[in-house]
Chain A
Amino acid sequence: MQRYRIISHGRVLQSSKYTFFAIIFDREKGTYFREEVQDCSTFDEFLQVLKNKLRAEVEVKRR
Protein backbone atom coordinates (compact mmCIF):
# COMPACT_ATOMS: atom_id res chain seq x y z
CA MET A 1 0.00 0.00 0.00
CA GLN A 2 1.44 3.34 -1.08
CA ARG A 3 1.36 6.56 0.90
CA TYR A 4 -0.12 8.57 -1.98
CA ARG A 5 -3.23 7.56 -3.87
CA ILE A 6 -4.72 9.37 -6.85
CA ILE A 7 -8.46 9.71 -6.30
CA SER A 8 -9.21 11.47 -9.58
CA HIS A 9 -7.19 13.03 -12.34
CA GLY A 10 -7.64 14.96 -15.54
CA ARG A 11 -6.17 17.36 -18.05
CA VAL A 12 -7.05 20.78 -19.42
CA LEU A 13 -6.00 22.70 -22.49
CA GLN A 14 -3.55 25.49 -21.62
CA SER A 15 -2.33 27.46 -24.64
CA SER A 16 -1.63 24.70 -27.13
CA LYS A 17 -0.60 22.05 -24.60
CA TYR A 18 -2.24 20.13 -21.80
CA THR A 19 -1.85 20.60 -18.08
CA PHE A 20 -2.43 17.40 -16.11
CA PHE A 21 -3.79 17.46 -12.56
CA ALA A 22 -4.71 15.00 -9.85
CA ILE A 23 -6.48 14.94 -6.51
CA ILE A 24 -4.26 12.87 -4.24
CA PHE A 25 -4.95 11.31 -0.86
CA ASP A 26 -2.05 11.28 1.62
CA ARG A 27 -2.55 8.22 3.82
CA GLU A 28 -0.04 9.41 6.43
CA LYS A 29 -1.63 12.80 6.96
CA GLY A 30 -5.18 11.76 6.10
CA THR A 31 -5.56 14.78 3.83
CA TYR A 32 -6.21 15.48 0.17
CA PHE A 33 -4.19 17.78 -2.04
CA ARG A 34 -4.03 18.78 -5.69
CA GLU A 35 -0.99 18.57 -7.94
CA GLU A 36 -0.59 20.02 -11.42
CA VAL A 37 2.03 19.38 -14.06
CA GLN A 38 2.22 21.49 -17.21
CA ASP A 39 3.17 20.43 -20.73
CA CYS A 40 2.67 16.70 -20.38
CA SER A 41 1.76 14.50 -23.32
CA THR A 42 0.44 11.40 -21.60
CA PHE A 43 -0.90 10.32 -18.23
CA ASP A 44 2.10 8.00 -17.74
CA GLU A 45 4.46 10.94 -18.23
CA PHE A 46 2.45 12.93 -15.69
CA LEU A 47 2.61 10.02 -13.25
CA GLN A 48 6.38 9.83 -13.59
CA VAL A 49 6.80 13.56 -12.92
CA LEU A 50 4.49 13.21 -9.93
CA LYS A 51 6.53 10.33 -8.51
CA ASN A 52 9.72 12.35 -8.84
CA LYS A 53 8.10 15.37 -7.24
CA LEU A 54 6.66 13.45 -4.27
CA ARG A 55 9.69 11.17 -4.06
CA ALA A 56 7.38 8.20 -3.61
CA GLU A 57 5.31 5.71 -5.54
CA VAL A 58 1.81 6.87 -6.37
CA GLU A 59 -1.11 4.48 -6.44
CA VAL A 60 -3.92 5.07 -8.91
CA LYS A 61 -7.41 4.30 -7.72
CA ARG A 62 -8.92 1.64 -9.99
CA ARG A 63 -12.67 1.08 -10.29
Chain B
Amino acid sequence: MARGAPDWTLGVNILMQQLDQLIQRPKYGICAPASFAGNVDANTETLVAEVSGVGIIYQVFFYIQSNASQKNDCFIIEIDGIQIPSATFLQAIQFNSVQQGNAATHMDCFDEVNFRYSGSIGYGITFESSVKAYYKETHGNTPYVSGMVLYATI
Protein backbone atom coordinates (compact mmCIF):
# COMPACT_ATOMS: atom_id res chain seq x y z
CA MET B 1 0.00 0.00 0.00
CA ALA B 2 1.38 3.39 -0.99
CA ARG B 3 2.23 5.71 1.86
CA GLY B 4 3.20 9.35 2.26
CA ALA B 5 2.23 12.37 0.24
CA PRO B 6 1.55 11.84 -3.45
CA ASP B 7 4.40 13.13 -5.55
CA TRP B 8 2.20 15.60 -7.42
CA THR B 9 1.73 17.66 -4.28
CA LEU B 10 5.45 18.09 -3.59
CA GLY B 11 7.09 21.40 -4.38
CA VAL B 12 10.24 21.25 -6.44
CA ASN B 13 13.04 23.73 -5.93
CA ILE B 14 14.59 23.74 -9.37
CA LEU B 15 17.57 25.75 -8.18
CA MET B 16 18.52 22.95 -5.75
CA GLN B 17 18.85 20.37 -8.51
CA GLN B 18 22.16 18.97 -9.67
CA LEU B 19 22.14 20.72 -13.03
CA ASP B 20 25.11 21.91 -15.06
CA GLN B 21 23.18 24.95 -16.12
CA LEU B 22 19.73 26.40 -15.83
CA ILE B 23 18.33 28.30 -18.80
CA GLN B 24 15.30 30.51 -18.52
CA ARG B 25 14.06 32.30 -21.59
CA PRO B 26 10.90 33.93 -22.93
CA LYS B 27 8.83 31.59 -25.05
CA TYR B 28 8.94 33.24 -28.46
CA GLY B 29 6.90 31.84 -31.30
CA ILE B 30 8.25 30.90 -34.67
CA CYS B 31 10.14 33.41 -36.75
CA ALA B 32 7.82 35.23 -39.14
CA PRO B 33 8.60 37.62 -42.00
CA ALA B 34 6.75 40.88 -42.58
CA SER B 35 7.71 41.59 -46.19
CA PHE B 36 7.22 44.98 -47.79
CA ALA B 37 7.69 46.28 -51.33
CA GLY B 38 6.61 49.48 -53.02
CA ASN B 39 7.47 53.01 -54.03
CA VAL B 40 7.75 55.36 -51.10
CA ASP B 41 6.75 59.02 -51.04
CA ALA B 42 9.24 61.83 -51.67
CA ASN B 43 10.64 64.00 -48.87
CA THR B 44 8.89 62.20 -46.04
CA GLU B 45 9.00 59.19 -43.75
CA THR B 46 6.94 56.30 -45.12
CA LEU B 47 5.81 53.49 -42.85
CA VAL B 48 6.82 50.28 -44.61
CA ALA B 49 6.12 47.71 -41.89
CA GLU B 50 4.49 47.53 -38.49
CA VAL B 51 4.06 44.71 -36.00
CA SER B 52 2.01 44.99 -32.82
CA GLY B 53 2.47 42.61 -29.92
CA VAL B 54 5.34 41.52 -27.69
CA GLY B 55 8.37 39.91 -29.22
CA ILE B 56 11.78 40.23 -30.74
CA ILE B 57 13.18 41.45 -34.06
CA TYR B 58 15.83 39.21 -35.51
CA GLN B 59 16.69 41.54 -38.36
CA VAL B 60 15.37 44.15 -40.77
CA PHE B 61 16.61 43.84 -44.37
CA PHE B 62 16.11 46.51 -47.00
CA TYR B 63 16.81 46.87 -50.72
CA ILE B 64 16.41 50.15 -52.61
CA GLN B 65 16.33 50.74 -56.35
CA SER B 66 16.10 54.28 -57.65
CA ASN B 67 16.72 56.44 -60.71
CA ALA B 68 18.87 58.88 -58.77
CA SER B 69 21.06 59.01 -55.70
CA GLN B 70 19.43 58.16 -52.37
CA LYS B 71 22.64 58.43 -50.35
CA ASN B 72 21.20 60.71 -47.66
CA ASP B 73 18.15 58.55 -47.01
CA CYS B 74 17.89 56.22 -44.05
CA PHE B 75 15.85 53.48 -42.50
CA ILE B 76 14.33 54.18 -39.11
CA ILE B 77 13.13 51.65 -36.56
CA GLU B 78 10.66 52.66 -33.89
CA ILE B 79 10.44 50.42 -30.84
CA ASP B 80 7.47 50.90 -28.50
CA GLY B 81 6.96 54.42 -29.81
CA ILE B 82 10.61 55.47 -29.56
CA GLN B 83 12.68 55.97 -32.70
CA ILE B 84 16.19 54.54 -32.74
CA PRO B 85 18.67 57.07 -34.23
CA SER B 86 19.87 55.78 -37.56
CA ALA B 87 22.74 56.67 -39.88
CA THR B 88 22.11 57.68 -43.47
CA PHE B 89 23.39 55.31 -46.14
CA LEU B 90 26.31 57.65 -46.83
CA GLN B 91 27.20 58.01 -43.16
CA ALA B 92 27.14 54.23 -42.73
CA ILE B 93 29.61 53.88 -45.63
CA GLN B 94 31.82 56.77 -44.47
CA PHE B 95 32.14 55.20 -41.03
CA ASN B 96 32.74 51.76 -42.53
CA SER B 97 29.62 50.32 -40.98
CA VAL B 98 29.50 47.39 -43.34
CA GLN B 99 29.35 44.48 -40.92
CA GLN B 100 26.56 43.29 -38.70
CA GLY B 101 26.83 44.52 -35.16
CA ASN B 102 29.02 47.53 -35.94
CA ALA B 103 26.14 49.94 -35.61
CA ALA B 104 22.37 50.09 -35.77
CA THR B 105 22.50 50.29 -39.57
CA HIS B 106 24.97 48.51 -41.81
CA MET B 107 25.22 48.60 -45.59
CA ASP B 108 25.79 45.66 -47.92
CA CYS B 109 25.45 47.58 -51.18
CA PHE B 110 26.07 51.28 -51.83
CA ASP B 111 26.01 51.72 -55.61
CA GLU B 112 25.98 55.38 -56.69
CA VAL B 113 26.19 54.42 -60.38
CA ASN B 114 23.15 52.16 -60.63
CA PHE B 115 21.51 53.71 -57.55
CA ARG B 116 21.10 50.44 -55.66
CA TYR B 117 21.39 50.25 -51.91
CA SER B 118 20.90 47.42 -49.47
CA GLY B 119 21.61 46.74 -45.85
CA SER B 120 20.06 45.75 -42.58
CA ILE B 121 19.36 47.00 -39.13
CA GLY B 122 20.35 45.43 -35.84
CA TYR B 123 19.23 42.14 -34.44
CA GLY B 124 17.89 40.80 -31.21
CA ILE B 125 15.88 43.91 -30.40
CA THR B 126 12.93 43.14 -28.13
CA PHE B 127 9.68 45.10 -28.11
CA GLU B 128 6.84 45.28 -25.61
CA SER B 129 4.04 46.76 -27.70
CA SER B 130 5.07 47.53 -31.28
CA VAL B 131 7.81 47.88 -33.82
CA LYS B 132 7.62 50.11 -36.88
CA ALA B 133 9.98 50.47 -39.82
CA TYR B 134 10.10 53.74 -41.77
CA TYR B 135 11.95 54.74 -44.90
CA LYS B 136 13.04 58.39 -44.80
CA GLU B 137 13.32 59.87 -48.30
CA THR B 138 15.29 63.13 -48.59
CA HIS B 139 16.09 63.59 -52.30
CA GLY B 140 12.64 64.28 -53.71
CA ASN B 141 12.40 60.89 -55.44
CA THR B 142 10.07 57.92 -55.08
CA PRO B 143 12.45 54.95 -54.92
CA TYR B 144 11.28 51.34 -54.91
CA VAL B 145 11.89 49.96 -51.44
CA SER B 146 11.59 46.30 -50.53
CA GLY B 147 12.69 44.11 -47.68
CA MET B 148 11.40 42.43 -44.58
CA VAL B 149 11.23 42.52 -40.83
CA LEU B 150 12.10 39.12 -39.38
CA TYR B 151 10.46 38.81 -35.99
CA ALA B 152 8.88 36.51 -33.46
CA THR B 153 6.20 37.26 -30.92
CA ILE B 154 5.42 35.70 -27.56
Contacts and interface: CB of A to CB of B under 8 A. Distances in A.
Interface string A37-60: 000000000000000000000000
A13 B55 contact: no
Interface residues of B, number: 23
Contacts of B145: 13
A63 B53 CA distance: 8
Contact of B37 (A7, A8, A13): A13
Given A9-B52, A23-B29, A15 B38 contact: yes
A7 B145 CA distance: 28
Interface in A9-49: 9-16, 21, 23, 32, 34
Interface in B114-133: 128-129
A13 B53 contact: no
B54 A23 contact: no
Dominant SS at the B interface?
Answer: strand
Contacts of B35: 12
Given A23-B29, A23-B153, A14 B38 contact: yes
Interface size class of chain A, counting residues whose CB lies under 8 Å from the partner chain:
10 to 19
A11 B50 contact: yes
A12 B48 contact: yes
Given A7-B53, A8-B51, A34-B32, A13 B153 contact: no
A8 B55 contact: yes
Interface of B: 29, 32, 34-40, 46-55, 128-129, 145, 153
Given A23-B29, A32-B29, 19 more contacts: A7-B153, A8-B53, A9-B52, A10-B50, A10-B51, A10-B52, A11-B50, A12-B36, A12-B48, A13-B38, A13-B47, A13-B49, A13-B145, A14-B37, A21-B34, A23-B53, A34-B32, A63-B54, A63-B128
